[in-house]
Amino acid sequence: MKILFGSWPIPMFGYMPRHNFLALVDGQENPVRELNGGAKNPDGTFNYLAFRGPLTAVETDYSRRDTAFFPEFYRRPASTVSILMEGSEADVLQCWANGTAAAAAIEKLGLRYFVLGTNSNTVATALVRKMGLQPPVQAFYRVQSPGGRRRFPMDFA
């Protein structure tokens, strides 16, 4: 199993800034789960075109798909990925569990989503750190990954 750091170019902004996410894949590179940060609509759906709103962190379970609430970026052709961790199923799943716990803690903070501030890239970087892994350098590019250098105002997990 592997944990991947993924990045998807955002078309509405000329493909330059990217949405960062994490993916858990099996030995055949099939997605099992995905972690995403972003904004949510008042009805709880994931807001792909957000400029502001409540910040959310959600886990997609590929066996129970509902893309309105749980996005899937790993399968998108324009997404790129790099390996964060590869190992035994037990080790990788334990690391992933740390990430899902951090995602739940981020959700409870009640923060607002801001395009150039606390956004999906902030969430992705924070989840990687809470997993005890090192975010890849592309997580910190100011133009490509706005918000990736930002930190949450307090320890959240």
Per-residue pLDDT of 94-120, as tens digits, reads 999 999 999 999 988 989 998 888 899
Per-residue burial over 12-38, b if 16 or more Cβ lie within 10 Å, else e, is eeeeebbbbbbbbbeeeeebbbbbbbb
77 CB-contact burial (10 Å; exposed 0-12 / middle 13-18 / buried 19+): exposed
The DSSP bridge partners found for residue 69 are: none
* Residue 79: per-residue pLDDT: 92
Record the pTM.
Answer: 0.90
Residue 33: its pLDDT value, please?
A: 98
Q: Tell me how crowded residue 63 is: count the other CB atoms within 10 A of its CB.
A: 7
For residue 156, the model assigns a pLDDT of: 61
pLDDT of residue 143: 72
> Rounded to the nearest 5°, which phi and psi values hold at 23?
-130, 140
- Are 112 and 52 a contacting pair, CB within 8 Å? yes
56-67, pLDDT tens digit by residue?
999 999 999 898
